[in-house]
Amino acid sequence: MIQSRKEQFDHLFPNEPAFRWKQIEQGFFSSARDWSDLTTLSKSMREQITEIPWMSVEAKQTFKSGNGDTHKAILTVAGDKQIETVLMKNKREAWTICVSSQIGCAMRCGFCATGKMGLSRSLIADEIIDQLRFWQHYIEDEGLEGRISNIVFMGMGEPLANYPEVKKTLNTILKHTDIGRTRITVSTVGVLPRLEQILTDDEWPHIRLAVSLHSAIPTTRKQIVPTSFDEFLPKLEAWAKAYLKKFGNRRHHLTFEYVMLKDVNDTEKHARTLANFVKRIGNVRVNLIPYNLTGVEFTCSTDSATHMFQDILKEKGVVTTIRHTMGDDIEAACGQLIVEDNKT
Ligand code: SAH
């Protein structure tokens, strides 16, 4: 098990008052670029603390899309493993980052490149947090305009299969940055026990949740997402109703993600079944995702099929958006995150 910076700190400095760590953590999100910049710490502590890594990720390679709107980084983490993270321009003239929560993924969704890697290990909170810090430094170093306003947990991995570390990450970011709860989205394949846990966990911050539904027809869902629980759809429906009853308001909705796969889940029947499913639940938005090629098994629905699908949902009063694909020229688009070195 990899030791967190906090664990290493407690080991090195067992007698420090609690506020000291808080001060250090604040320093991680400041303009400081190394331990030596944390001038609030005593000189002797600054010397000794260098045993703890200032950054838990290190850039191996970065890529920039042709139009400069999307940047991808391959980062090395402990164990000489690699993860990917993405920086994307958003409509608010700011940046959205897409972070990884695991190295690889155990969920094996048929259309996702990361799923093909299998799971190496989960990331610890420091490693997720440092993806944000990495991009903050990158923006500064590259002289890019705009700040990071949004975070999506849509990189490699299943965030809810790494619940404690993702929770720690969320709480740390909310505490030390101005990125608010409605600007953070955790995307999940729908790990039901963890979704249930969220309903009663007082420490789980109410950021936005997106569930990768991909079909409201059980056989199709199981075909695309092989890890689907038995009776997944009725259980998700019951959970979503309970979630919205407890936490929903005009600003707090749920999102269902739906990757558009030609002739697999994009027919009129699929659209009508999805509309009915969503209508039974309530404040749910649907985000249709054009499929980014990752292999030969699937092809992307045509634009006209996607728009027809959207029209059926809209007619039924379901708020439905189509995701704009970014960064496909640098394989930074959804589901394209895979690191060759990890495949061994
Ligand atoms: N494990 C999480 C996060 C995965 S990535 C989850 O399942 O939600 C975020 C989104 O990208 C998910 O909705 C996922 O299904 C989708 N995705 C994966 N591969 C894709 C691909 N090749 N094209 C388009 N979207 C894809």
Q: Is 294 in the pocket of ligand 1 (CB under 6 A)?
A: yes
- Best mutation site among 108, 151, 154 for ligand 1 pocket (most ligand atoms within 8 Å of CB): 154
Ligand 1 atom having least distance to the Cα of 153: 3
Q: Is 259 in the pocket of ligand 1 (CB under 6 A)?
A: yes
Q: Where in the chain is the domain with CATH 3.20.20.70?
A: 55-342
Backbone angles phi, psi at 323, to 5 degrees: -70, 135
- Best mutation site among 97, 101, 111, 215 for ligand 1 pocket (most ligand atoms within 8 Å of CB): 111
Q: Is 179 in the pocket of ligand 1 (CB under 6 A)?
A: no
Instruction: Report how far apart, in Å, the C-alpha atoms of 132 and of each of 28, 55, 57, 192, 321 are.
Output: 10, 11, 10, 28, 26
Question: Do the beta carbons of residue 112 and residue 259 sit within 8 Å?
Answer: no
Question: Active site residue: 47, 84, 140, 331, which one?
Answer: 84
109 is catalytic: no
What's at 316, amino acid-wise? K
Q: Is 332 in the pocket of ligand 1 (CB under 6 A)?
A: no
- Residue 339 has a pLDDT of 66
Distance 112 CA to ligand 1 centre (A): 6
Q: Is 104 in the pocket of ligand 1 (CB under 6 A)?
A: no
334 is catalytic: yes
Distance 32 CA to ligand 1 centre (A): 34
Averaged pLDDT in 10-residue chunks for the chain of 344 residues? 95 96 96 96 96 98 94 97 96 95 96 92 98 98 97 97 98 97 97 98 97 98 96 98 91 94 98 98 96 88 97 98 88 72 48
- Residue carrying structure tokens 């402990």: 78
Instruction: Report how far apart, in Å, the C-alpha atoms of 107 and of each of 118, 158, 228, 245 are.
Output: 8, 7, 9, 29
- Best mutation site among 128, 188, 259 for ligand 1 pocket (most ligand atoms within 8 Å of CB): 259
Ligand 1 atom having least distance to the Cα of 157: 1
- Residue 340 has a pLDDT of 59
Atom 15 in ligand 1: which residue has the minimum CA distance? 212
Q: Is 309 in the pocket of ligand 1 (CB under 6 A)?
A: no
Distance of CA 275 to the CA centre of its chain: 25
- Residue 342 has a pLDDT of 55
Three-class SS string for the chain?
CCCCHHHHHHHHCCCCCHHHHHHHHHHHCCCCCCHHHCCCCCHHHHHHHHHCCCCCCEEEEEEECCCCCEEEEEEEECCCEEEEEEEEECCCCCEEEECCCEEECCCCCCCCHHHHHCEEEECCHHHHHHHHHHHHHHHHHHCCCCCEEEEEECCCCCHHHHHHHHHHHHHHHHHHCCCCHHHEEEEECCCHHHHHHHHHCCCCCCCEEEEECCCCCHHHHHHHCCCCCCCHHHHHHHHHHHHHHHHCECCECEEEEEEEECCCCCCHHHHHHHHHHHHHHCCEEEEEEECCCCCCCCCECCHHHHHHHHHHHHHCCCCEEECCCCCHHHCCCCCCCCCHHHHC
Give the end-to-end CA distance of the chain in Å, rounded to a whole number.
21
Give the pair of three-digit tokens for residue 76.
């090395």
* CA–CA separation, 147 and 163 (whole Å): 27
This prediction has a pTM of: 0.96
* CA–CA separation, 191 and 197 (whole Å): 10
- Best mutation site among 289, 298, 337, 338 for ligand 1 pocket (most ligand atoms within 8 Å of CB): 289
Question: Do the beta carbons of residue 332 and residue 72 sit within 8 Å?
Answer: yes
Burial 19-57 (b: 16+ CB within 10 A, else e): eeeeebbebbbeebeebeebeebeeebbeebeebebbbb
User: For the structural domain made of 55-342, what CATH number should be given?
Assistant: 3.20.20.70
Backbone angles phi, psi at 82, to 5 degrees: -120, 145
Ligand 1 atom having least distance to the Cα of 335: 19
Atom 20 in ligand 1: which residue has the minimum CA distance? 335
Distance 282 CA to ligand 1 centre (A): 23
Distance 201 CA to ligand 1 centre (A): 26
Distance 127 CA to ligand 1 centre (A): 21
Query: If you compute the radius of gyration of the chain from its CA atoms, what whole number of angstroms results?
Result: 21
Angle at 167 between CA 161 and CA 168, to 5 degrees: 120
